Structure 1
Amino acid sequence: MAEPLPNLIEEIVADNGNDDLQSVAESLLPAEHVEIATLLESLPVEERLSLWEALPDDRKIDVLVEMRSDPREVLISATEDDQWSKILTGIDAEDLLELMDSLPAKLMELAFQALDDQQQGYFRDATQFPDEQIGHWISHDVLAMPLNAKVRDGLRRIRRNVPQHCDTIFLINRSGQFSAAVKLTKVFGAPEHLPLVELTEEFIPVIKGSDDSTTASLQVQRSGFAALPVVDDTNKLLGRVDILSASELVNENYERQVMATAGMDEDEDLFAPVAKSARSRALWLGINLLTAFLASWFIGLFEATLQQVVALAVLMPVVASMGGIAGSQTLTLIVRGLALGQVTGANLKALMTKELKVGGVNGVIWALVIGIVAFFWFSDPLLGLVICLAIFMNILAAALAGVLLPVVLDKLKIDPALSGSVILTTVTDIVGFVAFLGLGSLFLL
């Protein structure tokens, strides 16, 4: 995109949709599809629809594929039925898999009929796997040869076509089962009569179609290969996952986790209707309200203490905040470890011990700092002692909860990135308030 995205947004929005956007659409012709998709997602709905209409039909499918589902569905709904036959020209199975959750049944049928016989077969094979399994997202553009092929055969095949992000030839037997892989760099310069099987790699990871898509994608990223083979339960070669597709799947998973920590969907449109946005966010606001009332109820148990020692009310937010921050740091670390498969029952005890030690060190340091500040602020050594002990106890409790909560939620098949932070905040608030006010009642009254 020649012009920076903020400048384009300002230029289009400033026109208020009154000027012809054809010139803007023409300036986007050299741009990547993902850049056009990002621009469309950044525009208010009226300007987005105007620019969408100005785009050439032969680019619209590729742009839709790169968009999030919510803004994509706005464009699909606004497109006239008689335009789809042109837009769907040239669609392939991978594109349709990306769009299938956004297209209504009528358009899905039209898009499926636009595929050739081979692509229809690929689509049917992919839909046998749910979208959380890697078999749903494989590429069929594979450089594969028979197990008895020679170097000359490999060179001839390479000259004809090499798929993008391909650095190996996959060797398969007569039954189509994956057997080995040969690096392209080994083929060049090798004697032409030499069998390819003599040049195979000692080890190449093989992915099952039923493997988790994020786990498999991370395996591709770490493998040192540009793509890895994907096989079924009988070891028959289904296709491959290349480094680009793997990176996209990992990035999508990361974005999903980041949005989930706020109780939001990663596909939400920046300019979604107010009612829809309010409805989607209301659930977690309601859950947060319930947890806040729970914390308030515990505070109410110490109403008499607060009435007599006003300084406790002043310092309560400090206790809750320190516990919340300490817990969220641990929680984030454990959620990431679970997502990467690094946290298991075997290392959980050692991980908990380490986090409790970290919490203990930070607890001592910051408890002393805050205790000294409270002592000089209110000229009360007992108050300084009370908040010192409460901070230490809450940071330790936060470390423990930060480790255990995501692990327990994961065992219960509840996304810890989605609900962990809300529960953790409740735990640290309640522990902090009960410890602080309980110690206040004991030492200050």
Structure 2
Amino acid sequence: MAEPLPDLIEEFVNDSTGDDPATILMALSQQDTVYIASLLESLPVERRLVVWEGMPRERKLAVLVEMRSDPREILIDATPHNEWASIFADIDAEDLLELLDSLPNKLVDLAYQALDSQERKYFRDATQFPDSQVGHWINHELLVLPANAKVREGLRLLRREVPQHCDSIYLVNRSGQFSGLVKVTRLFVAHEHASLFELTEEAVTPLLGTEDVSGASLQVQRSGFSALPVTDEAGKLIGRLDITSASELINEFYERQVMASAGMDEDEDLFSPVAKSARNRALWLGINLLTAFLASWFIGLFEATLQQVVALAVLMPVVASMGGIAGSQTLTLIVRGLALGQVTPANMRALMLKELKVGGVNGVIWALVIGVVAYFWFTDVMLGIVICLAILFNIVAAALAGVFVPVILDKLKIDPALSGSVILTTVTDIVGFVAFLGLGTLFLL
């Protein structure tokens, strides 16, 4: 049984396992490659390199494949060149594609030479597609028969080694074009002289190699099959996208969305160099500073009001905070809908009305609560009314912004997960401050 990851991290960080390769090997011998990859990413760089050096070479390739790019590159740079021939001994096209962006050109060439002729062809074919398209990530281990094959030929095929996640046999015509899909389970109850084509599943549409990888991965997850066939533009079968690859690609997509919402790269190392981390994060800090100055400028327009009614300055963060939270909730919902293809012009009006109603209900409830609190705090009825109206207005405006900001960014081909939160915060801050201070100027002075 694998030792819990936090315990193993503590052992390696506190040096209780020592620097002896035999000790490291014993500690990792019962762990799988995903576990080891996660462990290495969790260790400070110095300890990570010690553990990496103590690992057996035959496991290093599989561990590298499972790691994120940034921590992986540190280990690649630290590995002596004379070790790579043995590390690449069992490499295949899928492994090389996964490592392609992390390896220097000399190592890519070395790994390519280690592939057999068939794997080299798979690698060349895959690199014809960018990594955002399905064709880059397809699996070439297929169960394939001619469209005129019989059940007995299918059963004979199944007596060989069946690849992982193969629950179907793909039928192709003489030109190699996809003709249909037969579930393996149907063969066991059919007459052996029956045509396989008569057993094909209806409404199974193959994926195109040029399709967006996240959308295609979702199709695989929802299909009810362990994999879906992938074809080129001419309909020729070129491979399949299996459920494991689809799940990994979807997980990476959502991790990228989460990290992008903070203006960060999903491959960033926990222990990346300070200068690199600071550089990566500086851009969005600068953008946020500009938006903060913009909000401050609007506040400055009401300087006279603030000087005369100090309570407004005390309550301003409440207005901004409530609008920001309400907007971010809507924004998160819409960004997810856009990613899943669920938000379209057809349902935009209904979605906007629904969010307006939600904003209205929450706005009324919390505006009343905050208005009553403000009244008892400052014993000023008019101040309570002002903040009550400002909160209501800002929450409704935040709901609208939460819908429109990501949709507009998506139409402009800008990732709403990356920049939506910054723009939304600016909008809700400015709307909230202008509404609150503007109403304060009208009713309190």
> Does TM, normalized by the shorter one, top 0.5?
yes
| 1:369 matched residue in structure 2 | 369
1:21 deviates by 4.0
- Separation in 1, partners of 2:164, 2:205: 19
After superposition, give the CA deviation of every residue in 1:113-152 in whole Å (9 maximum; x if it has no partner).
1101100000010011000001100000111111111111
| 2:443 matched residue in structure 1 | 443
- Separation in 2, partners of 1:25, 1:357: 60
| 2:197 matched residue in structure 1 | 197
Q: Secondary structure at the match of 2:179?
A: strand
| 1:344 matched residue in structure 2 | 344
| 1:74 matched residue in structure 2 | 74
| 2:214 matched residue in structure 1 | 214
Letter of the aligned partner of 1:224 in structure 2? G
1:354 deviates by 1.0
- Separation in 2, partners of 1:147, 1:128: 28
**More divergent stretch after superposition (92-101 vs 342-351):** 342-351
Alpha-carbon contact 1:17-1:50 (below 8 Å) kept: no
Alpha-carbon contact 1:17-1:46 (below 8 Å) kept: no
After superposition, give the CA deviation of every residue in 1:263-315 in whole Å (9 maximum; x if it has no partner).
10000000000100011011111111111111111111111111111110110
| 1:38 matched residue in structure 2 | 38
After superposition, give the CA deviation of every residue in 1:90-116 in whole Å (9 maximum; x if it has no partner).
100000000000000000000111101
| 1:170 matched residue in structure 2 | 170
| 1:184 matched residue in structure 2 | 184
- Separation in 2, partners of 1:80, 1:66: 20
Alpha-carbon contact 1:17-1:47 (below 8 Å) kept: no
- Separation in 2, partners of 1:234, 1:369: 63
Alpha-carbon contact 2:21-2:55 (below 8 Å) kept: no
- Separation in 2, partners of 1:36, 1:19: 17
1:190 deviates by 1.9
- Separation in 2, partners of 1:255, 1:25: 31
Alpha-carbon contact 2:24-2:55 (below 8 Å) kept: no
- What does residue range 210-289 of structure 1 map to in structure 2 within 5 Å? 210-289=210-289
Alpha-carbon contact 1:151-1:190 (below 8 Å) kept: yes
| 2:50 matched residue in structure 1 | 50
| 2:115 matched residue in structure 1 | 115
Alpha-carbon contact 1:12-1:47 (below 8 Å) kept: yes
| 2:8 matched residue in structure 1 | 8
| 1:89 matched residue in structure 2 | 89
Letter of the aligned partner of 1:247 in structure 2? S
Alpha-carbon contact 1:16-1:47 (below 8 Å) kept: no
Percent identical pairs in the alignment equals 74
| 2:399 matched residue in structure 1 | 399
Letter of the aligned partner of 2:260 in structure 1? A
**More divergent stretch after superposition (24-33 vs 138-147):** 24-33
Alpha-carbon contact 1:205-1:223 (below 8 Å) kept: no
1:18 deviates by 4.9
Q: Secondary structure at the match of 1:166?
A: coil
**More divergent stretch after superposition (348-357 vs 15-24):** 15-24
TM norm structure 2: 0.98
Alpha-carbon contact 1:360-1:395 (below 8 Å) kept: yes
1:31 deviates by 2.0
Alpha-carbon contact 1:230-1:238 (below 8 Å) kept: yes
TM norm structure 1: 0.98
1:175 deviates by 0.6
1:197 deviates by 1.2
Alpha-carbon contact 1:37-1:64 (below 8 Å) kept: yes
After superposition, give the CA deviation of every residue in 1:387-413 in whole Å (9 maximum; x if it has no partner).
000001101110111000001111111
Q: Secondary structure at the match of 1:145?
A: strand
| Aligned alpha-carbon RMSD (Å) | 1.0
1:203 deviates by 2.1
1:334 deviates by 0.4
Q: Secondary structure at the match of 2:186?
A: helix
- Separation in 1, partners of 2:302, 2:189: 82
- Separation in 2, partners of 1:200, 1:251: 31
After superposition, give the CA deviation of every residue in 1:133-190 in whole Å (9 maximum; x if it has no partner).
0110000011111111111111111110211111111111111110011111101132
Structure 2 segments unaligned to the other structure (5+ residues): none
| 2:144 matched residue in structure 1 | 144
Ranges of 4+ aligned residues in structure 1 off by more than 6 Å: none
1:14 deviates by 0.8
- Separation in 2, partners of 1:64, 1:29: 17
Q: Secondary structure at the match of 1:240?
A: strand
**More divergent stretch after superposition (145-154 vs 20-29):** 20-29
Alpha-carbon contact 2:133-2:209 (below 8 Å) kept: yes
- Separation in 1, partners of 2:406, 2:14: 46
Alpha-carbon contact 2:11-2:17 (below 8 Å) kept: no
After superposition, give the CA deviation of every residue in 1:183-213 in whole Å (9 maximum; x if it has no partner).
1110113221111112111221310000000
Structure 1 segments unaligned to the other structure (5+ residues): none
Alpha-carbon contact 1:312-1:440 (below 8 Å) kept: yes
Alpha-carbon contact 2:129-2:210 (below 8 Å) kept: yes
1:384 deviates by 0.6
1:22 deviates by 2.5
Alpha-carbon contact 2:17-2:23 (below 8 Å) kept: no
After superposition, give the CA deviation of every residue in 1:45-79 in whole Å (9 maximum; x if it has no partner).
11111111111111111110100000000000000
- Separation in 2, partners of 1:412, 1:202: 38
- Separation in 1, partners of 2:272, 2:19: 24
